[in-house]
Structure 1
Amino acid sequence: MQCGVYGMERMARWGPVGAVVLLLLLFRCNARSHNGRDPLRSILERVAVDKTVILTQASCPYLDFAENWILHVEGLKIKNYLILVDDDVAFKYLDKNFPGHTVHPSIISNAPRHGPKPLMRYDSLDFNNMMCQRLGIQKRVLDLGFSFLWTDMDTVWFQDASKIIPRGFDFVGTGDRFRFGHDDEEENKICGCMTFWSPTVPARQALREWHAKCINSNVDDQRTLQEMWASGDLKQRLFWYIMPWQLFPSGALLDQVKVDFSHSQAQDNPGAVLPAVIHANYRTGPEAKRKFLQERHAVVGKGNVAAARQNNSCSTFSQSVSRSHLFQLIRCLTLIVRVSTPGPAPW
């Protein structure tokens, strides 16, 4: 009993601040189940097909891209996909419209709050950190024994890429060429935007090293991967395959070739090789990416995301969420002050 009294006295000296820290620690402990089971496992088990999942990432500033990606994927009757959501606002919208395919940010991040963030500038520190952090999620998926196909949210699927990518490899990648040619620089440009990993020992080790190098560097995951690939180390340790650019072209290559993405070409030329997936990369900013996709008939949707974006729904919801968090914090602090106020112990 003396230990209990001593603990109460220390709590009284700590005051509300110490109690808040304690509550946060308890919250983080409860984020995992009592037996240490990763909460991500049950989500993967529910969605995976043949222990394989398709992963992408969504955030409030790119909600329309996320919805466009989902609608194309669902149009192909694909169901084993998961959206890793960065903030509560995006989660609320996507979980309402596409239930069962969203992963709450609390499962991905240990941050105490998950409010929407402003649009990150390409190559900024925040952007590079975000790109490196998502490798940690991918590593968790592999460690749980699942294969995954990662794809960026500014891609559009015209065919089921998971059926085209060959199995039996540790790693299957896609190119990220800026130009045509056979020079070493272009040959070593592979894209972190679309990768397929199997949970083999070499693959898990490679992804772990990629994650570590990315965290300890000043660049994003893309350039880190290309540096590792150019060194030749990964090529020697992995059983790998790079998909042909005709099926998975970069945004830069699509700027240099003429491809008719209208339905008429597919009908008139059933033997034509059309891209399975296109990527709005090699351009910065959402407007440039939207224009790229629109020019290639790659935008579908209900229109409600665009309207919501124009009405600044992200900031509106953010304020609402912030007020809710503030109310809960004030209430919590009030209770803590009452508990931690010095006084005679009830026993």
Structure 2
Amino acid sequence: MTGRRDGSLMRNSANSIRGSRIAIAIGIGVFIGCVFAFCFPHGIFDPNSQIQAQRNFKNSIQVGSASCESSERVNILKKELFSASEKNSELKKQVRELTEKLRLADQGRDQAQKQFLVLGEQHKAGPFGTVKGLRTNPTVVPDESVNPRLAKILEKVAVRNELIIALANANVKEMLEVWFSNIKKAGITNYLVVALDEDIESFCTSKGVPVYKRDHDEGFDSIARTGGNHAVSGLKFRILREFLQLGYSVLLSDVDIVYLQNPFDHIYRDSDVESMSDGHNNMTAYGYNDVFDEPSMGWSRYAHTMRIWVFNSGFFYIRPTLPSIELLDRVAARLSRENAWDQAVFNEELFYPSHPGYDGLHASRRTMDFYKFMNSKVLFKTVRKDAKLSKLMPVIVHVNYHPDKLPRMKAVVEFYVNGKQDALKPFPDGSEW
């Protein structure tokens, strides 16, 4: 009995062990099933993902074949896009140009009204013979931001916002020395040399002469160092603009001029530009009625013309007004694109009237006394041969009509300053070539 009991006990324990193993296996299976259910809600092999993968594969094949087939088309489209971009840039440029033209046209349309607003209120006309037009334009508001360094120099040099300036490079050093030596003798303090190279800057500094050299500008410096008289003359209109913008009146001077008196004591200051003349008598300097004869016209054979000899662009007084600055801009712009003489352009812009296709400059002008502000033709052809005229003391003598400038300048100093009466006699009336 004891044996049967032990055997039954062994069978019961074996059955319990197998039951516990089955329970554990079922538990593990349920746990793994829960994990898969959580991680793969649509199952491990989702039919939708398989279909999408198939579609992507087919599309990749189609794209690959399409890219191969359309490579040339892409290149064509790129070229067309580049061409369209260029055309668009050109159209934008044309639009800007048209906009600028419209703006300028609009400015010109009401120019007279704007001129009136600048000059002041309206006036009633007075009695016969008493009416005088407005001749003196108002000065511009000074703008020191244009050139702060030059502004500081001018504060020290200028007198009553006026000064003489001359441009010079190493080619005219000897004439420049005669120029500033006689300025000093005449008691003139408000003058300035615009040095076009380092040599002149050092030379003026060593002589105690006020000097100013512009900041580096490659195009400007090239002309300044090596340019001839006409090339250098063209630079002065660009340089002058800064002086006027800073609010200063300038007496521009070439260096082939001998100063015998202070010119500021003999200037009227009632015009935008006040210039010496290349004329040699009252008619040529101040204007005259010149009759043109054309016999083939019969009764109307005589045509009257008005003539005046040109202003000298090597010696003129210019006030800081809008018309003056416009004059400088016009002359500088033309000289930059034309192979022209600066004096011719200067006079054309001053004197040509408005006409179809051209707006004339609204600037007032005055011609200086040609005996006070004397050119070398007047001196050598007329004055030195006249006992009365030779006793007059001019303000300046400009050796503009003769190429042998330096010896004639020295002779002028000997004649007028040192009293040597025969100093002018060795020279011919004109040049020898």
Paired residue type of 2:375: S
Cα contact 1:87–1:105 (8 A) shared by 2: no
1:192 to 306, 313, 334: 313
Q: Which has the higher contact order (CA 8 A, sep 6+)?
A: 1
- The one-letter amino acid of 1:238's match is A
Q: SS at the partner of 2:251?
A: strand
Structure 2 unmatched ranges of 5 or more: 1-144, 291-304, 418-433
Question: Given the alignment of the two structures, is residue 128 of structure 1 paired with residue 244 of structure 2, yes or no?
Answer: no
- Give runs of aligned pairs for residues 236-315 of structure 1, distance below 5 A: 237-259=362-384, 273-284=392-403, 288-297=404-413
Contact 1:59 1:86 in 2 (8 A): yes
8 Å contact from structure 2 (residues 323, 361) kept in 1: no
TM-score, L = length of structure 2: 0.51
Q: Which residue of 2 aligns with 1:210?
A: 331
Quote the RMSD (CA, aligned, Å): 3.3
Give the superposition deviation at 1:228: 2.4
Map of 1:227 onto structure 2 = 348
Residue 176 (structure 1) aligns with:
278
Shift of 1:240: 2.0
What does the per-residue CA deviation read over 1:240-266, in whole Å, with 9 as the maximum and x for residues that have no partner? 2111111112222222113389xxx9x
Quick check: 2:223–2:231 contact (8 Å CA) kept in 1? no
Aligned pair partner of 1:95 in 192, 205, 208: 205
Contact 1:156/1:298 (CA < 8 Å) preserved in 2?
Answer: no
d(CA) in 2 for partners of 1:298, 1:187: 32
CA distance in 2, matches of 1:219, 1:75: 36
What is the identity, as a one-letter code, of the residue corresponding to 1:279?
A: H
**Alpha carbons 1:250, 1:281 under 8 Å: kept:** yes
Deviations 1:173-216 (A, max 9, x none): 11012677445786141100111111112222222212222222
User: Which of 1 and 2 has greater Rg?
Assistant: 2
Which amino acid in the other structure matches residue 220 of structure 1? W
In structure 1, how many angstroms separate the alpha carbons of the residues matched to 2:147 and 2:170? 29
CA contact (8 A) 2:194 2:211 kept: yes
Give the share of equivalent positions with the same residue, in percent: 20
| Count of equivalent residues | 250
Contact 2:349 2:361 in 1 (8 A): no
Structure 1 runs not aligned, ≥5 long: 1-34, 121-125, 301-347
Q: Distance in 1 between matches of 2:236 and 2:361?
A: 25
